[in-house]
Amino acid sequence: MSGNGRIALVTGASRGIGKAIALGLATRGFDLVLNDIAAQAATLQETAAEARTHGGRVIALHADVSNKAQVQAMVADAVAQMGTIHAVVNNAGILRASDVENCPEDYWDSVMAINAKGTFLVVQAVLPIMKAQSYGRICNISSIGGKHGAPEQAHYSASKAAVMGFTRVLAQEVGPLGITANCICPGIILTDMGRVNLEDAAIRDAWKAKTAMARIGAPEDVAGPVAFFCSDDSAFVTGQTLNVDGGIVLS
Ligand SMILES: NC(=O)c1ccc[n+]([C@@H]2O[C@H](COP(=O)([O-])OP(=O)(O)OC[C@H]3O[C@@H](n4cnc5c(N)ncnc54)[C@H](O)[C@@H]3O)[C@@H](O)[C@H]2O)c1
């Protein structure tokens, strides 16, 4: 074993928040299984190479988290190569903006399939492993959009609310097995996805004005709280949802 002896799977790890989470876990001694879709192969390899500079074992595996067969194969491959999985961060997600009246059915289906069903499928695949070792840390990335939401994101909000509800019940089911399950709700974070909320300066300034810390979040802001939920410092914390949003006041 190297580092802290723990192995974490991070989905959607090629860029943005997932990349920052991967590097944050690497600096804290985790070995890593980094996932993304095949189309992101080159950037995922770059993230993996950067994570390896912190000294741990890092592998990169492609899978679409909304595809059960691919998820099952990824988890089997991860266990074959790394031995086990101690922590999972369900970070992969998409945002496709549309108002409700004009929202194409495939926007609803794809957003729900990746954000909500993808989280379920990855959890379902790792549970037998965590159960067998009586240990697991599950951290699901929801969003403040799942609590409050914004126009043109009703389907995204629904998918992220689903992640929170799923996590609360999951925590009750797996608690007796030594497994915790918690959610992080990032606020407005500057990533490829976050730019949708930040396209013009007036919108950016409005978000800053609503934020106690008076700035837009960076992907690295999310990494520490996720690492907490992946560690033994949170051993008696489960079923919780933590905003990581710089103190956004939406009311
Ligand atoms: N950026 C924000 O402001 C913000 C706010 C709240 C929540 N979030 C959530 O944080 C997470 C990361 O978002 P981000 O801003 O880094 O977005 P991003 O678009 O920069 O990165 C998302 C990553 O997920 C991957 N991905 C997409 N579909 C996938 C699939 N089917 N299987 C595997 N990987 C897939 C993408 O390839 C990409 O690497 C998402 O769940 C998002 O909903 C983001």
User: Is residue 46 in a domain?
Assistant: yes
pLDDT digits (tens, 9 = 90+) for 185-217: 999 999 999 887 788 899 899 999 999 999 999
User: Is residue 251 in a domain?
Assistant: no
pTM for this predicted structure: 0.98
**CATH code: domain of residue 180:** 3.40.50.720
Residue with CA closest to ligand 1 atom 25 = 12
User: Is residue 175 in a domain?
Assistant: yes
Q: Which atom of ligand 1 lies nearest, measured to the CA of 64?
A: 32
| pLDDT the model gives residue 191 | 96
At 27, give phi and psi (nearest 5°).
-70, -20
Q: Is the CB of 186 under 6 A from ligand 1?
A: yes
Number of domains in the chain: 1
The yes-or-no verdict on residue 1 having pLDDT over 50 is no
Active-site position among 30, 108, 135, 156: 156
- What SS3 string covers the chain? CCCCCCEEEECCCCCHHHHHHHHHHHHCCCEEEEEECHHHHHHHHHHHHHHHCCCCCEEEEECCCCCHHHHHHHHHHHHHHHCCCCEEEECCCCCCCCCCCCCCHHHHHHHHHHHHHHHHHHHHHHHHHHHHCCCEEEEEECCHHHCCCCCCCHHHHHHHHHHHHHHHHHHHHHHHHCEEEEEEEECCECCCCHHHHCCCHHHHHHHHHCECCCCCECCHHHHHHHHHHCCHHHCCCCCCEEEECCCECCC
User: Is residue 140 in a domain?
Assistant: yes
Higher pLDDT, 185 or 250: 185
Separation of 141 CA from ligand 1 center, angstroms? 9
pLDDT digits (tens, 9 = 90+) for 163-183: 999 999 999 999 999 999 999
Q: Are 59 and 33 in contact (CB under 8 A)?
A: yes
| pLDDT the model gives residue 243 | 97
| pLDDT the model gives residue 221 | 98
Q: Is the CB of 97 under 6 A from ligand 1?
A: no
Percent pLDDT > 90 in the chain is 93
Mean pLDDT on 154-162: 98
User: Is residue 11 in a domain?
Assistant: yes
The yes-or-no verdict on residue 251 having pLDDT over 60 is no
| pLDDT the model gives residue 2 | 53
The preferred substitution site among 17, 23, 95, 242 for testing ligand 1, maximizing ligand atoms within 8 Å of CB, is: 17
Enclosing domain of residue 21: 7-244
Mean pLDDT of the chain: 96
The yes-or-no verdict on residue 93 having pLDDT over 50 is yes
User: Is residue 2 in a domain?
Assistant: no
| pLDDT the model gives residue 196 | 79
Separation of 102 CA from ligand 1 center, angstroms? 23
4 alpha carbon, distance to own chain's centre: 21
Mean pLDDT on 61-67: 99
91 alpha carbon, distance to own chain's centre: 2
User: Is residue 250 in a domain?
Assistant: no
Active site includes 107?
A: no
Residue with CA closest to ligand 1 atom 19 = 193
User: Is residue 106 in a domain?
Assistant: yes
CA distance 231 to 136: 10
